[in-house]
Amino acid sequence: MGIFQKIFGKEQCTLCGAECGALHRTKIKGGEYVCSDCVKKCSAYVRVSEMDRAEVDGHIEYMRRQEQLYQTLFVNARLETFPTGVTKQGITFADELGMFTILDRMSGKNKVYHEMFRYDQVAGYERYEEMNQPTEPGQPETLKERGIKLRLYGAADHIEMDEATSRRGFRSHPYVRREIKVVFQTSDNGTDYTDNAIAHFNAIFGVHDDEHALFSFGMNKKEKRDLMGAIAFAKTAGAAIKVAKDGEASLTDEKKAELEQQMNAMQDAQTGGLAEYTRRADAAEDKVFGGMDQ
Ligand SMILES: [Zn+2]
């Protein structure tokens, strides 16, 4: 094969078999090619060129399931989106599922599948702002873009999941390794919703739960959670002794349900409230994928 043929000749997509020209394919690890239609089925936050055939294949299957979850549960959940009226990108929270998705009217708009992220996959989030240098000296800087940077728990070059982290309830994302930038605004026209979205993340992660609101009396959220955890521990310990003495059959279904609730309360106290969202996300995934091999 000549060099011209090598660069401009058609190649076959290793996944779907389609013929693809130089502008409509991505070379993957191992030297095979994936056509642009198959790449559209991948997440906007992965680099397909860094995966091998088996990984891309598995990833597309993962994305297909994400779409299924999106269509069956996410669209029917109570949703909260920032900014309202997304023109660039935005975040839609579904607290009842413990998940969010990123709306993308920019680069991601030709993606085939929707993708959800679990709250317990989030390793960090922060507001960011980039400015344009003034074209003439003495002029003020102007806004280039602002929004939120997100980092997820993942393997390899990203944030290591150490034992302590996974015990605190966090989950590793199976594919996304890079920082995600969600562009809320590219000019100062319109309202800045960045802090609203940050506040929503803060509420999820219980960031201000140990602060008393001004003039509020009694226990704050964290103290309540810790107390519930302590009470639950005492109750659970009692039940555990009964089980040890009389066997599990000695527990009524009612008592078992109560026990499960108490154990959840203990978990909440340990994970700063995040465990509640983990349970919701698990339940959502069970509902959609329960009958499938995972
Ligand atoms: Zn293909």
Segment 84-112, tens digit of pLDDT:
888 899 999 999 999 999 999 987 678 99
Residue 156 pLDDT grade (very low, low, confident, very high; cuts 50, 70, 90)? very low
Residue 157 pLDDT grade (very low, low, confident, very high; cuts 50, 70, 90)? very low
Predicted confidence at residue 195, as pLDDT, reads: 93
Task: Please tell me the distance between residue 50's alpha carbon and the centre of ligand 1 in angstroms.
Answer: 17
Average confidence (pLDDT) over 44-64: 96
Task: Please tell me the distance between residue 43's alpha carbon and the centre of ligand 1 in angstroms.
Answer: 15
**One-letter identity of residue 40:** K
Considering only residues 293 and 161, tell me which one the structure prediction assigns the higher pLDDT: 161
CA 263 to chain centre: 25
Task: Please tell me the distance between residue 103's alpha carbon and the centre of ligand 1 in angstroms.
Answer: 25
Predicted confidence at residue 292, as pLDDT, reads: 57
Two tokens at 293?
A: 């091999």
Considering only residues 47 and 166, tell me which one the structure prediction assigns the higher pLDDT: 47
Task: Please tell me the distance between residue 104's alpha carbon and the centre of ligand 1 in angstroms.
Answer: 23
d(CA 40, CA 30): 20
Two tokens at 208?
A: 């201000």
Task: Please tell me the distance between residue 266's alpha carbon and the centre of ligand 1 in angstroms.
Answer: 48
Task: Please tell me the distance between residue 73's alpha carbon and the centre of ligand 1 in angstroms.
Answer: 28
Task: Please tell me the distance between residue 26's alpha carbon and the centre of ligand 1 in angstroms.
Answer: 10
d(CA 139, CA 122): 39
Predicted confidence at residue 210, as pLDDT, reads: 65
Q: In the predicted model, is pLDDT for residue 14 greater than 80?
A: yes
User: How confident is the prediction for the chain on average, in pLDDT?
Assistant: 85
